[in-house]
Chain A
Amino acid sequence: MSPGSQVNGDSRQVTFMERIERGEKIEATDWMPEEYRKLLIKQIHMHGISEVMGAYPEKEWVPKAPNLRRKLALIAKVQDEIGHGQLLLRVAEDLAKPYGKVRDDMIEDVYTGRVKFHNVFHMDAPTWADAGVIGFLVDGGAIITQASLLDSSYAPYGRILTRICAEESFHMQHGESIVLALAEGTEEQREMLQQAIHHWWPSMMFFFGPPEMSGASLRMMDYRIRTRTNEELRQRFIGRYAPRIHALGLTIPDAKLCHDPTTDQWTYSEPDWDWFGHMVRENTGPKSQERLQMRKQAHEGQKWVRDAMIRATVLQTQAI
């Protein structure tokens, strides 16, 4: 399925695919096929919005953090997530310019249901252990995905991910620090941690997507927007995190989970694809509606500030 064959006789398409196949990087100002542009917008818009929505489960724990240092660290992390959202939406905006899409549209799309966000951020975080496990497993999974995108064919995406990954490094250590503190704590704390691992594991299996990838995902592989399959990423995640959870003396809620040393592959129980898929499409997760409502409220409630800034700038320009 050569993308070049879709637009017969369009030499630009052919030249573009040759560039991709040579491993060249594409810039925002380069000519690109509309399909490539649309796939990138879909991916980066969803990624950016997921960063923003990713701040919500953890922000809930800021007022309840067990001490000041944890509270400061959690605030720092929430700031980082929103910051990553801003950087990614900026990359998406440049791509969406030909369609007249601006920041407001990109933000509003999440609560009008035109853009989805990662399944993990629809879930509830009932205990402090959940706040830790989000940093441990969810950030771990997100880093594995993002690290695989560092070599994306779209240079502005790869560049911004380099910066994001550097900051994620702190998120990873922060999450592990909470998890380790609980793991070496009382029986009650260990039980809380165990519950949180059980709570998040199926979500993490869904996080990387189905082994059989969708048409759009496969096209992203053709264009080298991404270079790893869902299954490769999931295998790396399990390979890194299952042994760590076991080392803590905790269990993973999957009787099928085991490692085959000859193939270096893990067998695992598939998550409920339909349930999670429906949740992400329809925003029907335990916390989807509540968080979307907060996002809408934040965006619309602050509209007057954005408007006032624009009016002030216009007045200033007129005065000169």
Chain B
Amino acid sequence: MADNKENDPESQHYDVYEVFVQRDPLGYHTHIGSVVAASSEMAQIVARENFLRRDTAISIWVVRQTNIHETSYEDTDFFVNRATDKSYRDVAGYVDNAKKWKAFKERAITIDDLVRDAKR
């Protein structure tokens, strides 16, 4: 849109940049808000000043809003795949396992036990 190529400075506006912040090395970049700025470099600085005056972070992504392709909130059909029961796909759908292990005199284990093993 405003690529700042118009001749009349009055008709030029900053671009909107959406801001994504990563808080730790294994964290994901998470959307936190948006800023307007004259360039992507400026957008990073403005984002830091707007969103990270107290919180710490290790990385900021700024993305021109026009480069974001969003789904429509009206198009609920797009997410309709959660309409049917999907307990067969969830851990919560297998709570019986623990009871059955108990009947065999064994304790049920979860993925967290295996993750803890790995850190041991």
Which A positions have Cβ atoms within 8 angstroms of B?
A: 24-25, 69, 72-73, 76, 140, 143-144, 147-148, 150-151, 155, 158-159, 162, 165-166, 168-170, 172-174, 176-177, 180, 183-184, 228, 236, 239-240, 243-244, 247-249
Contacts and interface: CB of A to CB of B under 8 A. Distances in A.
B118 interface: yes
B94 A147 contact: no
A247 B89 contact: no
Contacts of B117: 144, 147, 236, 239-240
A165 B112 CA distance: 10
Given A143-B111, A155-B25, A177-B94, 20 more contacts: A25-B26, A76-B86, A144-B117, A151-B119, A162-B26, A165-B115, A168-B111, A169-B91, A170-B89, A172-B110, A173-B91, A173-B93, A173-B97, A177-B97, A180-B101, A236-B117, A240-B113, A240-B114, A240-B117, A244-B106
Contacts of A148: 118
A148 B111 CA distance: 12
Interface in B77-120: 86, 88-91, 93-94, 96-97, 100-101, 103-106, 108-111, 113-115, 117-120
B28 interface: yes
B28 A159 contact: yes
Contacts of B105: 247
Contacts of B108: 176
A159 B26 contact: yes
Contacts of B100: 180, 183-184
Contacts of B27: 159
Nearest to B27: A159
A249 B104 contact: yes
Nearest to B105: A247
Contacts of B106: 243-244, 247-248
Secondary structure call for the A interface: helix
Contacts of A170: 89-91, 93-94
7 residue pairs, one from A and one from B, having the closest CB atoms = A25-B25, A173-B94, A247-B106, A147-B118, A169-B111, A148-B118, A73-B88
Interface centre among A69, A147, A148 (most CB of B within 10 A): A147
A177 B96 contact: yes
B57 to A, nearest CB: 14
A316 B4 CA distance: 26
12 contacts: A73-B88, A143-B111, A144-B118, A147-B114, A147-B117, A150-B118, A169-B111, A172-B114, A174-B88, A236-B118, A239-B117, A244-B109
A240 B109 CA distance: 9
A239 B93 CA distance: 26
B89 A144 contact: no
Contacts of B101: 176, 180, 244, 247
Interface centre among B25, B88, B109, B119 (most CB of A within 10 A): B88
Contacts of A151: 119
Interface centre among B86, B94, B110 (most CB of A within 10 A): B94
B111 A172 contact: yes
A13 to B, nearest CB: 21
Contacts of B120: 236
A254 to B, nearest CB: 19
Contacts of A180: 96-97, 100-101, 104
B19 to A, nearest CB: 18
